[in-house]
Amino acid sequence: MTTLMERLRLTHPLHFVIGLTLWCIWFVAVYGGHAVACEAAAPAPDQGVFTLLNGGLLLVSLLTTAVLAALTWGCCQAVKQNQGRARFNAAVSAGLYLFSALSVVFVALPIIGVPPCL
Amino acid sequence: MSTVNDKAIEHDPQQLHDDLHEIWGNPKGLKSLTIVNHTTLGLRFMVTGMVFFLIGGILAMLIRTQLAMPDQDFMSPDIYNQVTTMHGTVMMFLFAIPMLEGLAIYMIPKMIGARDLVCPRLTSLGYWCYLFGGIILMSSLVLEMAPSSGWFMYTPLSSSEFSPGLGSDFWLLGITFVEISALSAGVEIVVSILRTRTQGMALHKMPLFAWYILAMALMIVVGFPPLILASVLLELERAVGMPFFEVAAGGDPILWQHLFWLFGHPEVYIIFLPAAGIVSTLIPVFAGRPIVGYGWVVFAIIVTGFISFGLWVHHMFTVGIPQLAQAFFSAASMLVAVPTAIQVFVWLATLWLGKPKMKLPMLWVMGFLIIFVCGGLTGVMLALVPFNWQVHDTHFVVAHMHYVLVGGMFFPLIAGLYYWLPLFSGRMPSENLGRWGFWLTFLGFNGTFLIMHWTGLLGMPRRIYTYDTGMGWDIYNLLSSVSSFVMSAGIAMVLLDIALHFRFGKPAKHNPWNADTLEWANTMPPSAYNFVSLPNIETRHPLWDDPNLPYTMAEGKHSLAVASHGRREMWGTDPITGKVREIIHLPGNSWWPLFAAAALAVVCISLLVRVYALAGIFVLIAGVFLLRWSWENGAHPSAAPEADVAPGDPPLHSRTMDGPGVWAMAIFLIANGSFFLSYLFGWFYLWTVSPEWSMPAVPPLSLSILAGAGIAVLAGYGVIAKLIRGLRQKRDAGLGTGFYLAGALGALQVALTGWALYGADLSPTQTTHDAIMLVGLIYALFHGGLAVILTVMQGLRVGYGYVGVHAPFEPAVVVQLWRYNVVTFWVLVGALAVLPRVVGG
């Protein structure tokens, strides 16, 4: 894990945009996936939230959150190990990864409470 | 090259100034139309924007006059619809964005220690496109055929069936023309901020205003292409009957809403972010201390930039989208309050810990804080789906929008104008007149729009030209209208103050507000080249840390204080560290941007009046002008035929393979990619959602021919990539031949794609499927053709000696287009020819 994080060069400012880009991709995937699934094979309304579709969306969301949380952790380690510009970049990236992870959780919350395709 | 030491050479400052003025100075008379300098063009943008603002303001007053009392017949319904549509259109497209772009164009090079923007001729093209597009759009008002479908032009109301005149066409063509301007500015501002900061100015030392403008420019680059695509599709539907938004033929009017709001919601933040940048610049200056939490602000800017692209559907909560999808967008809409709140708390903390001086600019900042926070709170209310349903299309939404846009953009803009006025003119504004202007505007604004929230909650719909007295809205509308005139009086007073100060304002002392950023190291008003010498900056507050810096810069005691070579020069630096990489040499004044914009204006008018042959001719003429413009680059005699630099200085950018043009092409391709992704979204959206969509039983496109075309473009790219590798190893044998070979392969791709199109026998006016397929193939043909032309030109330039080992820059620009073409062509083949065979209709 530590080696992987080192390879990712978490002090590079490119990480300012990677977390939120992942958030955007997740958002499009969840919104688009839901729309396509509803057109192709909408679950019966009486199934409520316990559908394969909600399960799939939740799984994708959990995986995305896990990736973003790991990157947050990696950036936090980089903050401790660096000074100056590198520390600034890692700190801002850590905040952005954390925000992205929490955003996935917050936006995905309705998946466990709202039935799809209605 | 890492660090270039400031030269300890003694210069005669006046001689240096004269020499630099000789190179950078603006011509007078008719030749002033050729000016490419950012200071002049930034001012032109802002002055033109203010003229459009006045027109938009007059339209607003007409609206409030009409609504002041019930059952008014001051305007007919049709004229009222034209006036409301044009008010929104003018304020959003012709005032807000160009005005802020103008400020960015003027200010960014001065703040980051550069002498100009990185693509000066592009600045000029952008201005002329803006001016001509604006004039074309405004002429519709004079001709009484202005668009009348609302500033967001929803289909089918804006389609030819319900808007048969030329009104919608004026909007679609005029706005697309203006968007060329926005994109031009977006591309070059991004590259300028990343690559032309003065040496030592690392990314984390950059002024916050530059961070805000960087985010704004990138958002323009990504956010505008969806609307350009939507406008192209709707104009094609109106002009030649390609049915993209007609349900019966397989289209869907909701596609317009998606594409429009994919642009429209980020646009709110495109307008807000630079305004917030003004606030983040002013508050530390007037509080007399550095901003609290620089890193937090950077964080908030980046979050705002991204999250704003995930909110577009909250404008469409009533169109019948599934509840779960609405919940996603509702949650995302609430999220955007987080970065906004962070900024508000940062500003408050800075004021709290500093010793704020309530000068005139700060009055407008305080007005901004109050109004924008209120607008933000009603925004969170509107993010809640049930509440949104209740107030949808009522005056509540109009009130919210004005709180956000006027509070979030206009108040900071005026704060910024007052703050930088001494820089523009060398004179101070009148505090008395300015304070009267502020209070009248502030009270008038709240009187107009606070009350409008209640009118909306009482159920008054937006866009109705009159109402019955029995509805109970009379007194609220009257108060709104009276207040709107109070606000107008306030704005008139501000404009009067600004106009009078040029003649009667007290001369400003140098750096009158004791600011910390580099723009105040200029003379007031600034010279055409900004700085005599370019300093090494390793602090966020250069003028606070070294108050003598403006004087040493003016005395030529820093770098690039040389003019004997006759070139317009500035640093090209590393985007992260700010270390010097090369000397960027800029082109001088030029007629080509004006000629190209004029030719495009003729294209626009020809399309309006449906003289397509003339439009085609002028497309070719515009293309010739643009190519002729591109010819004068690199080692061309009018650019930089000699590559001599002072000992110890880095090489000229045209003698490297990483100049700003490489970056500009990359950013342009991001915009292009956004357009392409929007197209793919449209294809898959219609395929999935459109109720009458039908896929032909036999796929019309020949897979084998398209695969042949794909292999040709891949081979062409391979040839160019090999040439580039050779140039990197200082080998240019067979360079010209290689370009011609690649051009031939590109031509083969174009021919095969054309053959596939011909063989498909599409009926683009009968079905949406065929229409959108045709658009995709035309996109591929256009890009293939462009790559061929640019590659053959490279071959020619090798022959002229403008490209080679000594000047390897341009092939590195062109190869990116080839790479892009390879990817997009194969994706297109997959989407249009492979997937339909695999998935079926």
Confidence grade of residue B2 (pLDDT, cut at 50, 70, 90): very low
Q: Going along B256-350, which residue ranges are E strands?
A: none
Q: What is the ipTM of this complex?
A: 0.96
Considering only CB atoms, A106 lies closest to which of B296, B313, B335, namely: B335
Q: Which of B282-286, B296-300, B339-343, B468-472 has the lowest mean pLDDT?
A: B468-472
Exposed/middle/buried for B652, CB within 10 Å: 0-12, 13-18, 19+?
A: buried
Confidence grade of residue B792 (pLDDT, cut at 50, 70, 90): very high
- CA of A105: which chain B residue's CA is closest? B331
B190 closest CA partner among B277, B117, B129, B130: B117
| A20 contacts B302? CB cut-off 8 A | yes
Tokens read off for B795: 């071959």
- CA of A33: which chain B residue's CA is closest? B325
In chain B, residues with a C-beta closer than 8 Å to the C-beta of A91 are 295
- CA of A104: which chain B residue's CA is closest? B332
Tokens read off for B799: 């022959």
What is d(CA A65, CA A60) in angstroms, rounded to the nearest whole number? 9
- CA of B538: which chain A residue's CA is closest? A85
In chain B, residues with a C-beta closer than 8 Å to the C-beta of A39 are 688-689
Place of tokens 């031939």: B744
What is d(CA A91, CA B44) in angstroms, rounded to the nearest whole number? 40
Residue B8 has pLDDT above 60, yes or no: no
The model's pLDDT over B610-629, given as tens digits with 9 standing for 90+, comes to 999 999 999 999 999 999 99
The dihedrals phi and psi of B580, each to the nearest 5 degrees, come to -70, 135
Determine the distance from the C-alpha atom of residue B749 to the mean position of all C-alpha atoms in its chain, rounded to a whole number: 33
Residue type, B506: K
Rg (CA), chain B: 27
| B323 contacts A38? CB cut-off 8 A | no
The model's pLDDT over B514-530, given as tens digits with 9 standing for 90+, comes to 999 999 999 999 999 99
pLDDT value, residue B3: 57
CB B580 within 8 A of CB B201: no
CB B63 within 8 A of CB B481: no
The model's pLDDT over B482-501, given as tens digits with 9 standing for 90+, comes to 999 999 999 999 999 999 99
Q: What's the gap in Å between the CA of B330 and the closest CA on chain A?
A: 8
- CA of B296: which chain A residue's CA is closest? A92
| B310 contacts A96? CB cut-off 8 A | no
Confidence grade of residue B563 (pLDDT, cut at 50, 70, 90): confident
What is d(CA B446, CA B453) in angstroms, rounded to the nearest whole number? 10
Interface test with A, best of B328, B670, B684 (most A CBs within 10 A): B328
Helices (H) and strands (E) in chain B, counts: 27, 2
Residue B275 has pLDDT above 60, yes or no: yes
Classify strands B580-586 and B568-573 as parallel, antiparallel or unpaired.
antiparallel
What is d(CA B313, CA B322) in angstroms, rounded to the nearest whole number? 11
Tokens read off for B662: 């490489």
- CA of A84: which chain B residue's CA is closest? B204
pLDDT value, residue B173: 95
Query: Alpha helices, DSSP H only, in B698-834?
Result: 703-728, 735-760, 768-800, 809-828
Give the Å distances, CA to CA, from B354 to B286, B287, B292, B386, B545: 8, 5, 10, 43, 17
Question: In the predicted model, what is the mean pLDDT of chain A?
Answer: 93
A18-23 mean pLDDT: 96
pLDDT value, residue B639: 85
| A31 contacts B328? CB cut-off 8 A | yes
Question: In the predicted model, what is the mean pLDDT of chain B?
Answer: 94
Neighbours of B547 (CB within 10 A): 12
Residue type, B271: I
Interface test with A, best of B306, B317, B333 (most A CBs within 10 A): B306
A37-44 mean pLDDT: 89
CB B322 within 8 A of CB A118: yes
Tokens read off for B821: 């073409």
Q: Who's near B100: CB < 8 A, 6+ residues apart?
A: B216, B271, B274, B275, B409, B413
Tokens read off for B544: 């606070």
What is d(CA B220, CA B263) in angstroms, rounded to the nearest whole number? 9
Q: What's the gap in Å between the CA of A1 and the closest CA on chain B?
A: 26
A2-22 mean pLDDT: 90
| Sign of the CA dihedral with B65 first, then B162, B262, and B774 last | negative
B29-58 mean pLDDT: 97
Q: Is the pTM of this model over 0.90?
A: yes
- CA of A85: which chain B residue's CA is closest? B204
Confidence grade of residue B70 (pLDDT, cut at 50, 70, 90): very high
In chain A, residues with a C-beta closer than 8 Å to the C-beta of B298 are 16, 92
| B306 contacts A107? CB cut-off 8 A | no
Determine the distance from the C-alpha atom of residue B97 to the mean position of all C-alpha atoms in its chain, rounded to a whole number: 7
CB B339 within 8 A of CB B300: yes
Interface test with B, best of A12, A16, A28, A31 (most B CBs within 10 A): A31
Rg (CA), chain A: 17
B733-748 mean pLDDT: 96
Confidence grade of residue A4 (pLDDT, cut at 50, 70, 90): confident
Which contacts (CB < 8 Å, 24+ apart) does range B506-509 have? Answer: B506/B427, B506/B428, B507/B426, B507/B427, B507/B428, B508/B422, B508/B426, B508/B427, B508/B428
B454-466 mean pLDDT: 95
The model's pLDDT over B801-817, given as tens digits with 9 standing for 90+, comes to 999 999 999 999 999 99
Considering only CB atoms, A35 lies closest to which of B204, B298, B325, namely: B325
Residue type, B691: P
Beta bridge partners of B571: B583
Residue B1 has pLDDT above 60, yes or no: no
What is d(CA B354, CA B178) in angstroms, rounded to the nearest whole number? 42
Exposed/middle/buried for B470, CB within 10 Å: 0-12, 13-18, 19+?
A: exposed
Neighbours of B665 (CB within 10 A): 20
Whether residue B700 is preceded by a cis peptide bond, meaning omega within 30 degrees of 0, is no
| A91 contacts B298? CB cut-off 8 A | no
CB B811 within 8 A of CB B787: no
Q: Is residue B104 left, alpha or beta, with left meaning phi > 0 and alpha meaning psi from -120 to 50?
A: alpha
Give the Å distances, CA to CA, from A13 to A5, A86, B689: 15, 9, 39
Give the Å distances, CA to CA, from A110 to A41, A59, A98, A105: 20, 14, 20, 10
What is d(CA A101, CA A78) in angstroms, rounded to the nearest whole number? 18
Residue B746 has pLDDT above 60, yes or no: yes
CB B818 within 8 A of CB B642: no
Residue type, B747: A
Neighbours of B318 (CB within 10 A): 12
Tokens read off for A80: 């401790």
B352-370 mean pLDDT: 96
- Contact of A34 with chain B, judged by CB distance below 8 Å, is answered with yes
What is d(CA B438, CA B422) in angstroms, rounded to the nearest whole number? 19
Place of tokens 């107030």: B391
Residue B6 has pLDDT above 70, yes or no: no
Q: What's the gap in Å between the CA of B202 and the closest CA on chain A?
A: 8
What is d(CA B686, CA B694) in angstroms, rounded to the nearest whole number? 10
Neighbours of B328 (CB within 10 A): 24
B286 closest CA partner among B353, B347, B357: B357
Whether residue B156 is preceded by a cis peptide bond, meaning omega within 30 degrees of 0, is yes
B31-60 mean pLDDT: 97
The model's pLDDT over B415-425, given as tens digits with 9 standing for 90+, comes to 999 999 999 99
Q: Who's near B12: CB < 8 A, 6+ residues apart?
A: none
What is d(CA A93, CA B631) in angstroms, rounded to the nearest whole number? 42
Interface test with B, best of A9, A18, A20 (most B CBs within 10 A): A20
Residue type, B334: M
Q: What's the gap in Å between the CA of A38 and the closest CA on chain B?
A: 9
Give the Å distances, CA to CA, from B772 to B153, B156, B328: 20, 18, 29
Which contacts (CB < 8 Å, 24+ apart) does range B202-206 have? Answer: B202/A85, B202/B538, B202/B576, B202/B577, B202/B578, B203/A13, B203/A85, B203/A89, B203/B575, B203/B576, B203/B577, B203/B578, B204/A85, B204/A88, B204/A89, B204/B294, B204/B298, B205/B537, B205/B538, B205/B539, B205/B540, B205/B578, B206/B112, B206/B540
What is d(CA A96, CA B338) in angstroms, rounded to the nearest whole number? 12
- Determine what percent of chain B is predicted with pLDDT higher than 70: 99
